[in-house]
Structures are given as C-alpha cells and as structure tokens.
Amino acid sequence: MTDALKRLSEEGVAIWLDDLSRKRITSGNLAELIDQQHVVGVTTNPSIFQKAISEGDGYDQQLADLAARKVTVEEAIRMITTADVRDAADILRPVFDATGGQDGRVSIEVDPRLAHNTAATVAEAKQLAWLVDRPNTLIKIPATKAGLPAITEVIGKGISVNVTLIFSLERYREVMDAYLAGLEKAKAAGLDLSKIHSVASFFVSRVDTEIDKRIDALGTDEAKAARGKAGLANARLAYEAFEEVFGGDRWAALDKAQANKQRPLWASTGVKDKAYKDTLYVDDLVAPGTVNTMPEATLEASADHGQITGNTIAGTYDQSRREIEAVEKLGISYDEVVQLLEDEGVEKFEAAWNDLLKSTEAELKRLAPSEG
C-alpha cells in the first residue's frame, strides 16, 4: 500500500469522506479513517442517510423511542440525522481545533424540497445549525438561483456553509460572489469573520457521465477523442476562477478582516465509467487549498494505488478551455448539460429524501409499541 493519501494531504488537499452512518460512528471506523487514512472531514446528503437508515439495525433504539413519543416522520429524520452529525462532529473536533477550524467539518443538508425557496432554506439552515449545535458543522445549501441569496443571508448570520450541486463555471462565480456578499454582511454586523468557513462543492464525474453519453450517441472517432475530458477540464477552470476571485481587490478587504477563503471542494469523485482509472478525479485534481470528498471505494483505491505527482491543475487552463470547446464543436451544449445536471441533482436529492421519509415511516410503524 502506498501512502498516496499522505502525499495528497501534503499537497494541500483536504481529504473528506463522502459517507456517514451510525455504524461507522459506533464501530470506531470513522475514528480509524481519521487516524490512518488522513480523513479530516465528512460530507452527507439525503442519499447517504437514506442508505444508512434502511440498512441494519443501528437506528432501532432511537426509532423505537421516537415511535413511542409518536413524533412525525419529518421530526424523526431530523433527530436521527442531526444525532449522527453531532457525534461525527465530536469525533472530528480534535482535527477542527488543530486546523483552526478549517477542517474537522461535518456537512448536513437542508431539506432538498426547499431548493427553490430562499426564505425556507435560510430558516432551515438556522434550525439545523441550532439543532446540531457544534462549531464544526457546515450547512449544505444547493447552488440553485434561490439558493444564492440564501447563502449570502446564512453566511451573514455567521453560519458556515457547504454550497452543493455546482456544475457550471458561471454558477460557481455566482456562488463565490454570494459568499463574499455574506462575509460583507457579517462584517457590517460586527461578527468575527475568522470563525466563518465555507466550501463550494463542484461536481466532477456527473459532467463526464452526461457528456460521454452524448459523445457515444454521435459515435464518430472525432467525438470519441473527447471522452472523459470535460469533467476534469470544467473543475480545473473552476480552480482558475477561484484563484482569480480570491486574488482580487474585493477579497483583499475581507482578507484584512481575517476572513477565510471559500475552498473549492471536488464532489462526485467516484469514477462511474470503468474505462477510466478509479482514482482519476483524485490524482488529476491536486492543488493547494482544495478539498476532495471521496466515497469509501475511491478513498481505498487512492490509498492503494493513487498516483500523487504534485499539482495537476497548474498550467492546464488553456488545454482545459480547448477541451470544453472541442465538446461544443461536436454540437454538445455545455450550458444545456450543466443546467440539466443541476436540475437532475436537485431532483435526485428530493427523490432520496422522499425515500428516506418512506423508509423511516415504515421503521417507526414496525417499532411502535403495541397499544394497551
């Protein structure tokens, strides 16, 4: 086994695990990954919780108690998910303290059904921050049009945010703008900017999956030559935008007030196409000041045979632009693809949330005490 994960950390990439379950917490597995695999954060989403709650009996005791109290399904989900996030945050607290609050973070998502409602998203973010009540939590807000002002509002209240479901470069710039506006609000309110953190979750593999599908439908040799390049190119150009915004005058004023940069987080880094190496979105997206959140299979693959060769983003911007242009020249619209992916991303999380409601409701019924 190589120590590629150690090298990745040394290159300035924070390794986060894209998974959480009660079993992972109680078995000591999460603590082990922190200790042995350089994991310094955890991300969750509705799909992850749905899978965790529907498998095994790790939640039975809490579900039985909730059933006895006759709580609603929605309240049960909130109690269960925030308990897991709180416990994971406590396990990661030493990392949080050691990194001055930058890492040691656990993310929890607002109800995805609120993705197009700004006021409800803000209210939900405040509620989640209060419920978890740990300084090392990040509240996940989707980068929809309605999510952007919510990000500004929530950051302005001093709540740290993980902005999720970012696919396009234009939307990413809007996300950074929303973050800076939130910091300016927080500064005007006299809040300590050094305590506010944020990451921007830029999705990678889904871009390749959608564009490759369209390339395969064309079937020409010219089209096939463009396979598997758009996801990396898109992410690398996002890093270029990050360097530009956080090297500009607007940022300089906030930097003086001890604000933290909003780090790009590479999400959706599990490789979907077996034609590509399984560590592609780790090895080829190395740059300082980034986060890579990996499903466990990707984490294990990277630990076993990852090839970390230094910064693999620097010097790639012109080539990346050419690769996106090559896709456009095939008649595949970048703007159409990224909008579709955003819409589908919200729909998938909504569907997972609805599945979570159904499976939790079934468990509450199964474990409810008999009347008498």
Nearest Cα residue to 15 out of 45, 35, 33, 41: 41
CB 103, CB 96: distance < 8 Å: yes
Which residue in 298, 317, 344 sits closest to 243, CA to CA? 317
For 354, the 3-state DSSP assignment is helix
Report the alpha-carbon distance of residue 360 to residue 349 in Å, rounded: 16
Nearest C-alpha neighbor of 199 from the set 224, 217, 237, 172: 172
Alpha-carbon distance 39 to 187, whole Å?
32
For residue 136, what are its two tokens? 């090392």
Q: DSSP state, 113?
A: G
Q: Is 231 exposed, middle or buried (0-12, 13-18, 19+ CB in 10 A)?
A: buried
201, amino acid identity: S
Q: How far is CA 163 from CA 47, 66, 122, 216, in A?
A: 17, 31, 13, 32
State the helix-helix crossing angle for 169-188 and 230-245, rounded to 10 degrees. 30
140, 187, 229, 261: which is the annotated catalytic residue?
A: 140
Closest CA to 154 of 132, 175, 185, 131: 185
**Residue 84 in tokens:** 């897991």
Q: Could you give the angle at the alpha carbon of 174 between the alpha carbons of 170 and 178, nearest 5°?
A: 170
Q: Please confirm, yes or no, whether 6 is among the known catalytic residues.
A: no
Tell me the pairing of strands 263-267 and 13-17.
Answer: unpaired
What are the Cα distances from residue 319, in Å, to 240, 279, 335? Answer: 12, 21, 19
What residues are annotated to the active site? 140
